[in-house]
C-alpha cells in the first residue's frame, strides 16, 4: 500500500487490446481510469464512461448573454441616455444593433470556448503532468497505448492496481510517484512574475519613448484636423470678403433673441413679462443675475457689488423706491439697452434669461420688503 | 406492396385533383394569379433539384468520404431538374403577364428602358434555356456517370467528377443567379440587389439538404441504407444548422443595408413586405426559417436524433416554400393570396414531384456501390 503514488500505468501494444482491457479495469473499481493514446480512438469516450463536456452549454449561455449585453449597451446609449436621430431613423432602431450583437455573441462564445476549455475544464496552467515524466511517455507519443489507474484518494492501492493491469494484458506496468504539489503561488513566484512584468514595462516604455524621440512621428490619421472648416477670428477663402466670421444676414435674429425692446424706456413700460413665476424660471434668473448683474448691483440688489468698492462706481440701488415702482418692461429695457454707465446685456442673455432676471429682481425687492403675509406663504 | 400502391394512388389522386384546380385557376382567378403560382412552383422545384445537385458536386469538390453512402439520394433528387424543364418552358408564358420589363410599356419607363434588351422575352427565354442546358450537362456528368459506375466499378468516374466539380461551381453560381435575378427579382425590375443570387442559393441548398435528410430517414426505415449511422445524420444536421444561420445572415445583411441607405427604389421592396398582412408573414419567416430550426438543432444530440431531424427537415421545406412565396406573391397586391388555387398548385406540383421521386428511389442501387470510397464512407465516425 503506497499512498504517495499518483498512478499506475499499463502499456498495451494495440488499440484493440486497450479497448478490451478498459471494461475489465473499470469493473475493478480501483482509482480513476484514464487512457493515453497517440491519436484519438473511436469509441473510447463511451468505453471510459467520460461525461459529456459541459462546454457546449456554457458557450450557448455565454453567447446569448453576449447578444443581450450588446443589445442592452446599444439600446441604453442610443435610445435612453443620448438619443440622437440619425438618417431619419428612430434612436431605438434594432436593425442597427444586430451587427454588433452578432460580433459580441461570437466574442463571448469564443472566449468561453477557449478559456473555459483551457482553464475551467482542463485545469490549466498545470506544469509538468506526471505522465510526462514517466518512462512510458515515449511509447505513448509514438505507437503504444496506455491505460492509467489514477489515485482518487489516500486509500489508492497501487499494488492491486498494478496486478489488475497485468492481468488484463498490459505489456509493461509502471508506478508513477505523486507529483510535487507544493503551493503554486509562492512569494518567490509572485516576485519573479511582478519583476518580469515590471521589466517588460520598462523595456516597452523606453522603446516607445526613444522611438518617438529619435524618429519623426507620423500622424496616423489627420482627416479631422485638416478638414476644410471656418475658424473663429481666422481668415477664410470661402467667403468673398475673406473673413471666417460673418455678420448675420440682414433682418435675421438668432433663435431665442427675439424680440428686442425697441423705442424708449417709457414705451417699453407696457411690456408684460411672458414667463410664469416658477422655481425653474427663478433658478435661471438667479444664475444669470449672479453672472451678469451681481458684480455691480450686489447680491441683494442694493447697489453694493464687489466692483463698487474696487472702482468707486455708483450702480443703481434696485431697492430704492424709484425701482420698486418700476414696471417690469422698464427693467427689461434697461437690461437690453443698458442705462447710463450700464452696458447692454442683449448679446449675453437670451430672451428667456432677460425676463427671468426681471422676475428675480422682483423677488429680491420683495425679499427686502417682506410683509407678514409673505411669511405665511413660506410657512408649512 | 399494397401500401405502396395505396400511396401511389393517393398521389395520383392529388395530382389529378390539383390539375383540375390548376386549370380552374386560369379561368376563375385570372392569369396573374395562375402564373404567379406557376412561377412559385417552378422556382421551388428547380431550386430543390439544383440544391441537391450542389450537394453531389460539393462532395466531389472537397473529396468528402462520409457522404458517399448517401450520395445516391441527392443524385436522385437532382433528377427533378428534368421534369422541371417543361414546367419552365410553359412558365415562359408568364413573362408578358407578370414581368414588367417584358411589357411594351417598359420602353417608356425611365429605368426599364435602359434594361429593355436584357428583360425582353427573347433574351429572357434564351437565358433560361442556357440555364436548362447547363443543368442537363451537369446532371449527365455527375449523376449519369455515377449511375454507370454501379455496373462498371470504374474509379475513373471519381477522377472525372473531381475535375468537373470546380467547373460546376461556376456553372451553379451562374445558373442560380440567372434564375434568381430573372425569375424572382425580374418581377420587380426597378429593384435589384447584388446578393440576391446568394440569398436564393442559401434557400436552395437548405431545401436540397432537408429533402436529402428526409430521403435518408425514409430509406433507413426500410433498411435500405445498411451502415448509414447517426454520424452521417449528424453531418447532414450540422449542415442544415449552419445554413439556417447563413440564410439569415444574407437575408438580414441585404435588408439592413437597404434599410440604412433608405433609397426609395430599394426600400419599397421591404416597405411592401413590412406592411399589413405581409408584415406578419415576414416575421413568421424569420421565426420559421431561422429561430426555430436554429434552436431546434443547436445541441449535439439534436443533430443525430432522427425524429427531431425529420421534423426540422419538414419545417425547413415549409419555410423554403414560404420564403419563395414571400419573394413572389407581394407583386399581386397588399393582400397575401392563399386559397384553393394555391392549394391546387401545391397538390399538383408536390404530388408530381413525389411521384417522380418515388420512381427515382426505386431505380438502381440505393448506394453508389461502384464508388471505391463507399467502404471508407460507411466506416465514417465522428
- Is the pLDDT higher at A5 or at B285? B285
Say how many CA atoms lie within 13 Å of A292 toward its Cβ: 25
Looking at chain A, which residue has its C-alpha nearest residue B263?
A87
Residue A200 domain flag: no
Q: What tens digit of pLDDT does each residue of B251-273 get? A: 999 999 999 999 988 999 999 99
pLDDT at B206 over 70: yes
Same domain, A8 and A134: yes
Residue B269: the pLDDT is 93
Among A10-19, A169-178, B226-235, which is the least confidently predicted range?
A169-178
Among A101-105, A115-119, B131-135, B203-207, which is the least confidently predicted range?
A115-119
Residue A258: the pLDDT is 62
Q: What percentage of residues in chain A have a pLDDT greater than 70?
A: 92
Residue B19 domain flag: no
pLDDT at A201 over 60: yes
- Is the pLDDT higher at A52 or at A207? A207
A64 interaction partners in chain B (CB closer than 8 Å): none
Residue A216 domain flag: no
Domains of chain B: total: 1
Number of inter-chain CB pairs under 8 A, A vs B: 19
Out of A43, A60, A95, closest to residue B256 by CB: A95
Q: Examine the fold and report which residue of A134, A152, A180 is the final residue of a domain before the chain moves on.
A: A180
Instruction: Give me chain A's average pLDDT, please.
Output: 86
Residue A228 domain flag: no
Bond before A259 cis per omega within 30 degrees: yes
> Hey, which of A256-265, B19-28, B51-60, B331-340 has the most confident mean pLDDT?
B51-60
Same domain, A48 and A172: yes
Q: With bands split at pLDDT 50, 70 and 90, how would you rate the model's confidence at A43?
A: confident
Residues of B with CB under 8 A from a CB of A: 252, 255-256, 259-260, 262, 298-300, 381
A155 — contact with chain B (CB < 8 Å)? no
Residue A262: the pLDDT is 65
B300 interaction partners in chain A (CB closer than 8 Å): 56
Same domain, A46 and A174: yes
B262 interaction partners in chain A (CB closer than 8 Å): 87-89
Q: How large is the average pLDDT for residues B81-94?
A: 95
Q: Examine the fold and report which residue of A180, A200, A221 is the final residue of a domain before the chain moves on.
A: A180
B259 interaction partners in chain A (CB closer than 8 Å): 95
Residue A256: the pLDDT is 65
Looking at chain A, which residue has its C-alpha nearest residue B258?
A95
Same domain, A158 and A305: no
Residue B187: the pLDDT is 92
Residue B5 domain flag: no
What pTM value is reported for the model? 0.73
pLDDT at B1 over 70: no
Residue A54 domain flag: yes
* Contact criterion met (CB < 8 Å) for A56 and B299: yes
Q: With bands split at pLDDT 50, 70 and 90, how would you rate the model's confidence at A181?
A: low
B229 interaction partners in chain A (CB closer than 8 Å): none
Host domain of residue A285:
265-378
Q: Which of A54, A98, A103 to mutate to test the interface with B (most CBs of B within 10 A)?
A: A98
Residue A260: the pLDDT is 63
* Contact criterion met (CB < 8 Å) for A96 and B262: no
Among A107-116, A156-165, B125-134, B292-301, which is the least confidently predicted range?
A156-165
A241 — contact with chain B (CB < 8 Å)? no
Residue A220 domain flag: no
Among A198-207, A314-323, B213-222, which is the least confidently predicted range?
A314-323
Instruction: Encode chain B in three state secondary structure.
Output: CHHHHHHHHHHHHHHHHHHHHHHHHHHHCCHHHHHHHHHHHHHHHHHHHHHHHHHHHHHHHHCCCCCHHHCHHHHHHHHHHCCHHHHHHHHHHHHHHHCHHHCHHHHHCCCHHHHHHHHCHHHHHHHHHHHHHHHHHHHHHHHHHHHHHHHHCCCHHHHHHHHHHHHHHHHHHHHHHHHHHHHHHHHCCCCCCCCHHHHHHHHHHHHHHHHHHHHHHHHHHCCCCCCCCHHHHHHHHHHHHHHHHHHHHHHHHHHHHHHHHCCHHHHHHHHHHCCCHHHHHHHHHHHHHHHHHHHHCCCCCHHHCHHHHHHHHHHHHHHHHHHHHHHHHHHHCCCCCCCHHHHHHHHHHHHHHHHHHHHHHHCCCCCCCCCCCHHHHHCCCC
SS3 A237: coil
Q: What tens digit of pLDDT does each residue of A212-237 get? A: 888 876 766 777 777 777 778 888 88
Q: With bands split at pLDDT 50, 70 and 90, how would you rate the model's confidence at B142?
A: very high
Same domain, A154 and A279: no
Among A83-97, A171-185, A277-291, A294-308, which is the least confidently predicted range?
A171-185
Q: Beta strand A145-150 with A172-177: parallel, antiparallel or unpaired?
A: unpaired
Residue A1: the pLDDT is 37
pLDDT at A41 over 80: yes
Determine the distance in angstroms separating the CA of B256 from the nearest CA of chain A, rounded to an integer. Answer: 6
Determine the distance in angstroms separating the CA of B378 from the nearest CA of chain A, rounded to an integer. Answer: 14
Residue A108: the pLDDT is 97
Looking at chain A, which residue has its C-alpha nearest residue B262?
A87
Beta bridge partners of A342: A339
pLDDT at A169 over 70: yes
* Contact criterion met (CB < 8 Å) for A87 and B300: no
Residue B2: the pLDDT is 67
Determine the distance in angstroms separating the CA of A67 from the nearest CA of chain B, rounded to an integer. Answer: 14
Determine the distance in angstroms separating the CA of A298 from the nearest CA of chain B, rounded to an integer. Answer: 56
Q: What percentage of residues in chain A have a pLDDT greater than 90?
A: 34
Residue A219 domain flag: no
Domains of chain A: total: 2
pLDDT at B298 over 50: yes
CATH of the domain at A307: 1.10.760.10
Of A20, A25, A46, A48, the closest CA to residue A36 belongs to A48
Same domain, A26 and A151: yes
Q: How large is the average pLDDT for residues B200-222?
A: 95
* Contact criterion met (CB < 8 Å) for A87 and B262: yes
Same domain, A38 and A141: yes
Contact A361, A318 (CB under 8 A): yes
Q: With bands split at pLDDT 50, 70 and 90, how would you rate the model's confidence at A2?
A: very low
* Contact criterion met (CB < 8 Å) for B259 and A88: no
SS3 A179: coil
Q: What tens digit of pLDDT does each residue of A79-92 get? A: 999 988 888 888 89
Q: How large is the average pLDDT for residues A177-197?
A: 82
Residue B223 domain flag: yes
Q: Order of strands, edge to edge, in the sheet holding A5-12?
A: A32-36, A145-150, A5-12, A172-177
Residue A123: the pLDDT is 78
Determine the distance in angstroms separating the CA of B281 from the nearest CA of chain A, rounded to an integer. Answer: 18
Residue B295: the pLDDT is 93
Q: Which of residues 86-145 of A touch B (CB under 8 A)?
A: 87-89, 95-96, 98-99
Q: Which of residues 178-207 of A touch B (CB under 8 A)?
A: none
A95 interaction partners in chain B (CB closer than 8 Å): 255-256, 259-260
Same domain, A141 and A280: no
Q: With bands split at pLDDT 50, 70 and 90, how would you rate the model's confidence at B376?
A: very high
Out of A42, A56, A89, closest to residue B300 by CB: A56
Q: How large is the average pLDDT for residues B119-144?
A: 94
Among A170-174, A368-372, B2-6, B213-217, which is the least confidently predicted range?
B2-6
Q: Which sign, positive or negative, has the C-alpha torsion B148, B150, B152, B158?
A: positive
Host domain of residue B258:
27-378
Residue A180: the pLDDT is 65
Q: Examine the fold and report which residue of A128, A158, A180 is the final residue of a domain before the chain moves on.
A: A180
Q: Which of residues 54-93 of A touch B (CB under 8 A)?
A: 56, 60, 87-89
Amino acid at each position: 500500500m503506497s499512498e504517495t503514488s499518483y498512478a499506475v500505468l499499463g502499456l498495451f501494444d494495440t488499440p484493440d487490446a486497450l479497448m478490451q482491457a478498459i471494461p475489465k479495469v473499470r469493473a475493478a473499481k480501483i482509482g480513476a481510469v484514464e487512457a493515453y493514446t497517440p491519436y484519438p480512438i473511436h469509441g473510447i469516450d463511451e468505453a471510459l464512461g467520460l461525461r459529456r463536456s459541459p462546454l457546449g452549454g456554457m458557450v450557448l449561455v455565454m453567447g446569448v448573454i453576449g447578444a443581450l449585453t450588446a443589445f442592452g449597451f446599444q439600446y441604453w446609449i442610443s435610445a435612453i441616455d443620448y438619443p440622437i436621430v440619425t438618417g431619419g431613423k428612430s434612436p431605438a432602431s434594432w436593425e442597427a444593433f444586430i451587427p454588433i450583437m452578432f460580433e459580441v455573441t461570437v466574442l463571448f462564445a469564443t472566449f468561453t470556448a477557449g478559456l473555459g476549455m483551457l482553464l475551467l475544464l482542463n485545469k490549466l496552467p498545470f506544469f509538468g503532468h506526471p505522465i510526462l515524466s514517466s518512462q512510458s511517455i515515449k511509447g505513448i507519443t509514438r505507437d503504444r497505448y496506455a491505460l492509467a489507474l489514477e489515485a482518487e484518494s489516500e486509500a489508492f492501492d497501487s499494488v492491486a492496481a498494478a496486478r489488475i493491469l497485468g492481468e488484463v494484458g498490459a505489456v509493461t506496468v509502471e508506478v508513477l510517484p505523486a507529483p510535487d504539489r507544493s503551493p503554486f503561488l509562492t512569494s518567490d513566484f509572485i516576485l519573479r512574475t511582478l519583476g518580469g512584468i515590471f521589466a517588460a514595462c520598462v523595456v516597452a516604455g523606453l522603446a516607445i519613448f526613444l522611438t518617438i524621440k529619435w524618429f519623426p512621428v507620423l500622424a496616423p490619421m489627420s482627416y479631422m484636423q485638416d478638414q476644410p472648416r471656418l475658424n473663429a477670428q481666422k481668415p477664410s477663402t470661402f467667403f468673398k470678403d475673406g473673413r471666417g466670421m460673418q455678420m448675420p444676414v440682414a433682418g435675421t435674429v438668432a433663435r431665442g433673441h427675439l424680440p428686442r425692446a425697441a423705442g424708449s424706456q417709457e414705451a417699453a413700460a407696457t411690456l408684460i413679462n411672458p414667463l410664469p413665476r416658477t422655481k425653474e424660471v427663478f433658478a435661471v434668473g438667479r444664475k444669470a443675475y449672479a453672472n451678469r448683474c451681481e458684480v455691480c448691483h450686489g447680491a441683494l440688489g442694493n447697489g453694493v457689488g464687489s466692483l463698487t468698492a474696487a472702482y468707486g462706481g455708483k450702480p443703481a440701488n434696485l431697492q430704492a423706491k424709484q425701482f420698486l415702482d418700476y414696471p417690469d418692461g422698464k427693467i427689461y429695457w434697461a437690461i437690453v439697452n443698458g442705462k447710463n454707465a450700464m452696458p447692454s446685456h442683449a448679446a449675453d442673455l437670451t430672451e428667456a434669461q432677460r425676463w427671468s432676471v426681471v422676475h428675480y429682481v422682483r423677488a429680491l425687492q420683495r425679499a427686502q420688503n417682506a410683509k407678514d403675509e409673505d411669511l405665511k406663504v413660506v410657512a408649512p | 406492396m399494397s401500401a405502396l400502391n395505396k400511396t401511389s394512388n393517393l398521389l395520383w389522386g392529388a395530382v389529378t385533383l390539383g390539375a383540375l384546380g390548376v386549370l380552374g385557376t386560369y379561368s376563375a382567378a385570372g392569369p396573374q394569379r395562375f402564373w404567379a403560382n406557376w412561377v412559385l412552383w417552378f422556382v421551388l422545384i428547380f431550386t430543390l433539384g439544383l440544391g441537391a445537385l450542389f450537394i453531389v458536386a460539393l462532395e466531389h469538390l472537397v473529396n468528402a468520404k462520409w457522404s458517399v453512402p448517401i450520395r445516391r439520394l441527392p443524385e436522385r433528387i437532382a433528377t427533378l431538374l428534368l421534369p422541371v424543364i417543361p414546367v419552365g418552358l410553359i412558365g415562359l408564358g408568364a413573362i408578358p403577364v407578370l414581368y414588367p420589363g417584358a411589357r411594351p410599356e417598359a420602353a417608356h419607363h425611365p429605368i426599364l428602358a435602359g434594361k429593355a434588351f436584357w428583360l425582353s422575352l427573347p433574351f429572357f427565354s434564351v437565358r433560361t434555356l442556357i440555364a436548362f442546358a447547363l443543368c442537363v450537362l451537369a446532371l449527365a456528368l455527375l449523376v449519369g456517370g455515377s449511375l454507370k459506375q454501379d455496373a462498371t466499378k470504374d474509379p475513373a468516374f471519381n477522377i472525372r467528377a473531381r475535375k468537373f466539380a470546380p467547373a460546376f461551381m461556376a456553372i451553379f453560381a451562374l445558373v442560380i443567379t440567372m434564375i434568381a435575378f430573372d425569375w424572382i427579382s425580374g418581377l420587380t425590375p426597378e429593384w435589384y440587389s447584388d446578393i440576391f443570387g446568394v440569398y436564393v442559393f442559401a434557400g436552395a441548398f437548405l431545401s436540397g439538404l432537408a429533402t436529402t435528410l428526409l430521403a435518408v430517414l425514409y430509406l433507413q426505415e426500410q433498411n435500405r441504407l445498411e451502415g448509414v449511422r447517426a454520424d452521417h445524420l449528424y453531418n447532414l444536421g450540422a449542415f442544415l444548422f449552419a445554413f439556417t444561420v447563413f440564410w439569415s445572415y444574407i437575408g438580414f445583411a441585404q435588408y439592413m443595408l437597404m434599410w440604412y441607405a433608405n433609397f426609395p427604389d430599394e426600400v419599397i421592396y421591404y416597405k411592401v413586405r413590412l406592411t399589413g398582412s405581409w408584415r406578419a408573414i415576414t416575421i413568421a419567416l424569420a421565426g420559421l426559417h431561422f429561430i426555430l430550426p436554429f434552436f431546434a438543432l443547436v445541441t449535439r444530440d439534436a443533430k443525430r436524433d432522427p425524429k427531431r431531424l425529420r421534423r426540422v427537415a419538414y419545417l425547413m421545406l415549409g419555410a423554403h416554400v414560404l420564403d419563395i412565396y414571400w419573394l413572389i406573391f407581394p407583386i399581386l397586391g397588399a393582400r397575401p393570396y392563399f386559397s384553393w388555387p394555391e392549394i391546387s398548385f401545391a397538390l399538383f406540383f408536390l404530388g408530381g414531384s413525389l411521384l417522380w421521386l418515388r420512381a427515382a428511389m426505386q431505380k438502381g442501387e440505393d448506394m453508389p456501390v461502384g464508388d471505391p470510397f463507399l467502404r471508407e464512407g460507411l466506416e465514417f465516425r465522428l
